[in-house]
Amino acid sequence: MNQTKNILIKTVSLVFFLNLILVSCAENKVSQCQKIILITQKIAKESETNRQTEDIQKALQVADSFDEAAEEMKNLAITDEQLVKYQLGFAAIYQGYAQTTRQFISALQKKDINTVKLMQQRLKQLGQKEPELGNEMNNYCQSE
């Protein structure tokens, strides 16, 4: 009887200890927020220096950077439901930047002024969505 009690106590202790380890290893909201923020900061730095360039190759490199950031964002392992929405929102914005930049350059090369103006408008809209999404996410990440 005493031996059974000891085995039970050891088993319960082991299960408790393993649960404690698993819970402490699980990513919390803050660490998931940081993953998203790191990508947003990285792409902001990469694109800031070349965003106003007149060099077509540099503009295409910026578009490539946005594509890479979108893929990197989509591939993050985020489990928080609200953060997944922000994650996918940023990925969509970055894909939008990449696609619209390429369409802008193509229209510019073809001297298609109407499409150039339309792409400028789309870029402006994306430029407004990004900080809005960032502010929403920051508020969520700071709340507890």
CA distance 8 to 84: 41
The answer as to whether 18 is a domain residue is no
The answer as to whether 22 is a domain residue is no
The answer as to whether 50 is a domain residue is yes
The answer as to whether 84 is a domain residue is yes
Distance of CA 34 to the CA centre of its chain: 10
* CB 105, CB 56: distance < 8 Å: yes
Distance of CA 64 to the CA centre of its chain: 16
pLDDT tens by residue, the chain, 144 residues = 555 444 545 443 444 443 434 344 446 999 999 999 999 999 999 888 776 778 889 889 999 999 999 999 999 999 999 999 999 999 999 999 999 999 999 999 999 999 999 999 999 999 999 999 999 999 999 986
Domain that holds residue 85: 28-142
Structural domain tally of the chain? Answer: 1
* CA atoms lying within 13 Å on the CB side of residue 51: 13
